[in-house]
Amino acid sequence: MTQVQLIARHTIKQGHEADVLRLLGGFIDAARAEPGNLAFDAYRKIGDERSYVLLERYASREALAAHRETPHFTQVLLGQIVPLLDARTIEEYDVPH
């Protein structure tokens, strides 16, 4: 199986920084607990308090698909965080072994 690396870049709508960061902590903890998750980290962009990146690694494409079906993905990320964003881009990469 091929591992998958994701880079998700988010820009928060002005005035919603605290809300997103509060939600993000619980979301990351839940994602890290998934059986197919190998790594999940968030970093704020230097010089831009509204931007951050999520670096995610999954054991397989199936593990990534399972992640996208979890309640924390559908209800927290898509349902609560995404509406508070100005921009969201996702890059997916196969990880060679």
What CATH number does residue 15 fall under? 3.30.70.100
Q: How confident is the model at residue 96 (pLDDT cuts 50, 70, 90)?
A: confident
The helix/strand/coil state of 87 is strand
User: Is the distance from CB of 25 to CB of 76 less than 8 angstroms?
Assistant: no
Quote the pTM value.
Answer: 0.93
For 38-57, the pLDDT digits (tens) are: 999 999 999 999 999 999 99
Mean local confidence (pLDDT), 20-49:
97
Q: What is the number of alpha carbons within 13 Å of residue 3 lying toward its C-beta? A: 13
The number of distinct structural domains making up the chain is: 1
Which residue range(s) make up the domain with 49? 3-95
Task: Give the position of tokens 């995610």.
Answer: 56
Classify each residue of 27-54 as buried b or exposed e, where b means 16 or more C-beta atoms within 10 Å of its C-beta: bbebbeebebbbebebeeeeeeebbbeb
User: Is the distance from CB of 31 to CB of 81 less than 8 angstroms?
Assistant: no
Give whole-number Cα distances, 66 to 10, 37, 48, 49, in Å.
22, 10, 32, 31
